[in-house]
Amino acid sequence: MRMNRFATLVTTFATFATTVIILLTLFEMANQRKSAYKPDLVFGTQNSFSIDINKSTNTPEIMPFIEPRESHSKRVFHLRQPTLNLYNIGMATAKAITVNWKFDTDAYINIIRGLDTEKKYTINMTYLGKSPFLRVTQPGETADFSMTSFVDSIDYILPAHVQKEPHVIMLPPPYLPLISIIFALSCKEVPESNPPTPKLKVILNYLDIGNNHHKKEFSVETGLGIISYRKNVLENFGIIIEVKEANRTKRVERAETFIHSINERFEKTKE
């Protein structure tokens, strides 16, 4: 009688275990199927550009400029604008993409006002029609930078194995003049560390081919590149832009903490 009960218990447990394994297998297959149709948008991790210093005004060359083409009668308007490369490293197409910049203009302006002891720069908001612009004035130059270009829309981006070239994203128009002025003011003498600059955030929202919503957040940090002086006068400087994914950074930190705890346990076992 006891043997029959034991056999029944073993059979019941085996059936339960088999059911669990089947459910886990189906769950894993469903996840694999979803990942096969999931896009994954990421920015190139780093970019850099150089800013020259105007010798006559001793200010950074950041204003829009007009460059002659082959024919001197035709001129084309250029805006110096740093960019980032956007890739789709997933297996499927991303569509209905919005790029939303979180840009605290006031934080940058306050830093400039604190550094600008000679009062070379005037920065304030203005309106052209109903559109807001940031007006930047430095010796001999004034230019307006749009404050409405903080949201961009992209129809779709194919996976990187299909679309070899990245999609180029322009940073907000006021970013270049503000960051360049901060760096120029901070580099009158060789700086001991990177100038203080607020982080620039960008949020991506997009859909996959099944119309499932995806959201990713990144932070953009800036640092000094190569700085060039001539007779103790600043000639030019490089700006390095580094992009970090917010959630991925947290995952990496958790993984590093876990690995560190494992190493500590291993060291204790050797003692």
The 10s digit of each residue's pLDDT in 141-157 is 888 888 877 888 999 99
Residue 168, pLDDT > 60, answer yes
User: Tokens 């560190």 label which residue?
Assistant: 260
Residue 268 belongs to some domain of the structure? no
- Alpha-carbon distance 100 to 78, whole Å? 24
Domain count, the chain: 2
Instruction: Estimate the crossing angle of helix 175-186 against helix 105-115, to 10 degrees.
Output: 30
Of the pLDDT bands very low, low, confident and very high (cuts 50, 70, 90), residue 202 is: very high
One domain for residues 7 and 70: no
Instruction: Report percent pLDDT > 70 for the chain.
Output: 71
Is residue 173 domain-shared with residue 207, that is, in the same domain? yes
pLDDT class of 229 with cuts at 50, 70, 90: confident
Residue 238 is assigned to a structural domain of this protein? yes
Per-residue confidence (pLDDT) for residue 230, from 0 to 100: 84
* Closest to 108 measured CA to CA, from 28, 198, 240: 198
Residue 3 sits in the same domain as residue 66: no
Residues in the chain: 271
Co-location of 180 and 94 in the same domain: yes
How far is it, in rounded angstroms, from Cα 136 to Cα 123? 5
Residues 6+ apart with CB under 8 A from 82: 47, 49, 170, 171, 175, 176, 239, 241
Q: How far is residue 26's CA from residue 114's CA, in Å, rounded to a whole number?
A: 61
252 and 129 in one domain? yes
Work out the pLDDT band at 45, boundaries 50, 70, 90: confident
Q: Domain span at residue 15?
A: 1-36
Residue 123 lies in a domain: yes
Segment 72-113, tens digit of pLDDT: 444 444 456 778 889 998 889 999 999 999 888 889 999 999
pLDDT of residue 215: 93
Q: How far is CA 264 from the centre of its chain?
A: 35
**For the purposes of burial, counting CB atoms within 10 Å of the CB of 145, is it exposed (0-12), middle (13-18) or buried (19 or more)?**
buried
Q: Quick one: 205 and 244 in the same domain? A: yes
pTM: 0.70
Beta-bridged to residue 95, according to DSSP, are 156, 207
261 within 8 A of 211, measured Cβ to Cβ? no
Q: Are residues 7 and 73 in the same domain?
A: no
Provide the pLDDT for residue 147.
Answer: 84
Asked whether residue 18 falls in the same domain as residue 138, the answer is no
> Do 95 and 140 share a domain, yes or no?
yes
In this structure, the answer to whether residues 108 and 230 fall within a common structural domain is yes
**Distance (Å, whole) CA 73 – CA 71:** 5
SS (H, E, C) 176-244: HHHHHHHHHHHCCCCCCCCCCCCCEEEEEEEECCCCCEEEEEEEEEEEEEEEEEECCEEEEEEEEEEEE
Task: Kindly report the average pLDDT of the chain as a whole number.
Answer: 76
Joined tokens for residue 189 = 């003498």
> Is 127 contained in some domain?
yes
Sheet of 83-88: strand order equals 41-43, 83-88, 167-170
- Residue 55 and residue 80 in one domain: yes
Q: For the ranges 7-16, 53-62, 125-134, which has the lowest average pLDDT?
A: 7-16
